[in-house]
Amino acid sequence: MPVEDDRGAPPPFGDVGTGEPVVLVTGSGAGGSTWHLQVPALVAAGYRVLTPDHREHSAGGADDLVADLVRLIERVRLGPCRLVGTSLGAHVVQELLLARPDLARQAVLLATRGRADALRAAMVAAERELLASGVVLPPGYAAVQRALQFLSPATLNDDVRLTDWLDLFEAFPPARATELVDVAADRLDAYRAIRVPTLVIGFGDDLIAPPHLGREVAAAIPGARYVEIADCAHYGYLERPEAVNSALLDFFAPPSAGRTPPR
């Protein structure tokens, strides 16, 4: 995918810590602050952590978001850095690994996929139909539907945790500007050209990017590792942050640091 610099500034981003840079790329409908359970762990481990927002409007789809990430890395002069993306953010990172591999030292892809199977394609088509209809779902109903799609049974069956999530979903409905940037084409063959060391993390109960589609991405990228975290769904980095953080730090750490890389 060609990436052109239109001389615009990158979207806003958080920047905390010192040391080697790690850029965390969020999914659709979320800002960089969604990584609040990963940032402290990475900073404590000695990394500088950048958390960009996605642009509000993305007429060029994923191409625009890849270009934004390139601009951020180049304008802040990060050099080759570690990249972590979840969902839409993982897709953006995957495409950057093809377009500008010189900007990436390592990559971690959470809740990702390289193609749209029948169910995921139907889900996106249904969302597009809902948007086109102009129908606005009542906040409480929308919150429940979001919980059923994005959370694991472990969370859904915990009354206290679920109540907190429903309150959050109702108070902060997702922005929809980038929500429909989606994986439509099969990109798995293209990903065979990626040479950046990559870790793919799947979440056991994920309905949006199920583990078998994440394993396909890991199988396509030469030398990529795959780990699967149980009892969490598409928001696995928020449902089980300790497990996600441990996997990130294990992958990032050199062998001399005493950590065992995930298998």
| Catalytic residue (choose from 28, 58, 87, 152) | 87
CA distances from 108 to 86, 202, 214, 227, 244 (A): 8, 11, 12, 11, 10
**Phi then psi for 13, rounded to 5 degrees?**
-150, 150
Q: What SS3 class is residue 109?
A: strand
What single string gives the DSSP state of each residue in 245-263?
HHHHHHHHS-GGGTPPPP-
Residue closest to 25 by CA, chosen among 9, 14, 41, 16 = 14
User: Are 103 and 80 a contacting pair, CB within 8 Å?
Assistant: yes
User: Are 112 and 87 a contacting pair, CB within 8 Å?
Assistant: yes
Active-site annotation holds for 234 = yes
Q: Kindly give, in sequence order, each residue whose CB lies less than 8 Å from that of residue 196, ignoring residues fewer than 6 positions away.
A: 97, 101, 104, 105, 106, 107
Q: Kindly give, in sequence order, each residue whose CB lies less than 8 Å from that of residue 31, ignoring residues fewer than 6 positions away.
A: 53, 54
CA distances from 209 to 44, 214, 219, 239 (A): 30, 7, 15, 15
Count of beta carbons in the 10 Å neighbourhood of residue 105: 18
Q: Which residues are catalytic?
A: 87, 206, 234
